[in-house]
């Protein structure tokens, strides 16, 4: 935002505002609203009209923030509808285009009912160098036609229009890409139609990092609780709880497990389901469950670990039977992670010191990382245990880079072949 010293602002009765952008030696003159606010620059002793849309100067300050003799206030009051500046005070880019469009009755109506849509129009006008007359012709169309043009979409609905109006944006360039990205994700736009508060665009797009949660009531319960700004830590906890519970349902061969997990209204209810299924899994006779796994995967032996243990304190669990024993001994749900290990999404390690714990390594990203570290009954470990395990994983990742790269290549190849 360009800083303006009020000493260098002058207003003339003809409805012109002159601003000296000292010390940059640039003098600009903003014309009357009756002339569609032309902008001129002082060059060689005279003003020459220039194309100027994106200069970020505080023309749109709220009138209430200005003193009675302020040149900006006098300029704003020269407009037939000075109340438009109250709404325009939030706009940071394409300010002049939005203002010029607002002088038209259709633009003024959009300004007060769907400022986001009007800004999208101004953005595309600037992007494609579209004239003001052509822009006015656009905003005089039906609303869904305006959105279709502004968003480059062939089909839009009334719900899309309502969604655009609800979006909470900063009116900066990145917002356009975020809005377009949001419209490409129907799994997000469908539940968002029922949200009754301003929707923060960036934070909502970030939910795509947790796609497994998109259909879960627990996510949208938290979304409403935090008005769209769910803390990342809370999202991670929800995601871990969802994944763990779904894996338990898979181990128990519950057909509608995802429906049950998604219907849990909040994290508390999700934990109740998780704990109930953990008890149920650990009550199953080991021989019957192991036979079921061997029938499915052909052997008690699991895929090799992404990296070895340290020989004494941290050991990879390489057999299904050992994984089940770990779940029994530690009284948590790790016995249900067989599918995740065979699909190379996770690997489980037994931690013997400094505390007895179970370590889950996430293999879904380019670099293996710690996903969970739990003591018996899912208790949290002490800080010295965390640091010890973090150091172990860091050393192993660094020393096994070539093997990990080869494993990722094989995994990618397997995925392509299965597709």
The predicted-structure confidence for 144-180, as pLDDT tens digits, reads as follows: 999 999 988 888 888 889 999 999 998 988 999 999 8
Predicted pLDDT of residue 66: 64
Predicted pLDDT of residue 416: 41
Instruction: Give the strand pairing for 39-43 and 26-30.
Output: antiparallel
Distance CA 388, CA 47 (A): 70
Predicted pLDDT of residue 409: 45
Predicted pLDDT of residue 347: 94
The residue among 409, 292, 410, 296 whose CA lies nearest residue 342 is 296
Predicted pLDDT of residue 123: 93
Q: What angle do CA 10, 53, 178 make, to 5 degrees?
A: 130
Cα 219 from chain centre? 13
Contact between residue 229 and residue 214 where contact means Cβ atoms under 8 Å apart: no
Contact between residue 152 and residue 202 where contact means Cβ atoms under 8 Å apart: no
Low-confidence ranges of the chain (pLDDT < 70): 1-7, 22-25, 51-66, 285, 402-419
Predicted pLDDT of residue 380: 92
The residue among 355, 358, 394 whose CA lies nearest residue 374 is 358
C-alpha separations of 53 from 41, 343, 356 in Å: 13, 53, 64
Predicted pLDDT of residue 58: 53
Instruction: Give the strand pairing for 357-362 and 26-30.
Output: unpaired
Burial bucket for residue 32 (CB in 10 Å: 0-12, 13-18, 19+):
middle
Instruction: Give the strand pairing for 167-168 and 199-200.
Output: parallel
């Amino acid at each position: 935002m360009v800083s303006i010293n009020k000493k260098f602002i002058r207003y003339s009765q003809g409805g012109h505002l002159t601003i000296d952008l000292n010390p940059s030696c640039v003098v600009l003159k903003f014309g009357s609203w009756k002339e569609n606010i032309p902008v001129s620059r002082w060059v060689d002793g005279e003003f020459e009209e220039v194309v100027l849309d994106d200069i970020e100067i505080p023309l749109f300050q709220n009138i209430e923030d200005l003193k009675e003799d302020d040149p900006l206030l006098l300029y704003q009051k020269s407009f037939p509808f000075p109340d438009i500046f109250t709404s325009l005070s939030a706009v940071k880019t394409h300010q002049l285009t939005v203002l010029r469009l607002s002088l038209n009755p259709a633009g003024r109506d959009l300004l007060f009912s769907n400022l986001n849509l009007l800004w999208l129009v101004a953005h595309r006008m600037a992007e494609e160098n579209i004239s003001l007359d052509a822009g006015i012709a656009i905003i005089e169309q039906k609303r869904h036609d305006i959105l279709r043009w502004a968003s480059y979409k062939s089909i839009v609905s009334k719900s899309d229009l309502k969604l655009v109006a609800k979006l909470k944006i900063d009116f900066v360039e990145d917002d356009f890409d975020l809005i377009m990205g949001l419209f490409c994700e129907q799994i997000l736009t469908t539940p968002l139609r029922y949200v009754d508060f301003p929707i923060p665009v960036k934070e909502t797009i970030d939910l795509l990092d947790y796609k497994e949660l998109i259909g879960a009531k627990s996510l949208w319960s938290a979304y409403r609780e935090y008005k769209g700004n769910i803390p990342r830590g809370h999202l991670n906890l929800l995601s871990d709880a969802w994944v763990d519970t779904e894996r338990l349902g898979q181990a128990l061969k519950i057909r509608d497990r995802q429906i049950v997990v998604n219907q849990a209204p909040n994290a508390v209810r999700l934990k109740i389901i998780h704990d109930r299924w953990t008890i149920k899994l650990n009550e199953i006779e080991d021989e019957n469950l192991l036979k079921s796994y061997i029938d499915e995967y052909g052997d008690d032996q699991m895929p090799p670990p992404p990296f070895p243990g340290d020989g004494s304190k941290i050991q990879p669990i390489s057999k299904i039977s050992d994984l089940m024993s770990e779940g029994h001994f530690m009284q948590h749900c790790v016995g249900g992670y067989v599918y995740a290990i065979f699909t190379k999404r996770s690997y489980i390690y037994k931690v013997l010191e400094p505390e007895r714990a179970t370590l889950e390594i996430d293999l879904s990203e380019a670099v293996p990382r710690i996903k969970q570290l739990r003591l018996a009954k899912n208790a949290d470990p002490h800080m010295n245990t965390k640091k010890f395990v973090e150091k172990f994983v860091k050393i192993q990742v660094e020393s096994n880079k070539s093997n990990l790269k080869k494993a990722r290549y094989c995994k990618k190849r397997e995925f392509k072949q299965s597709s």
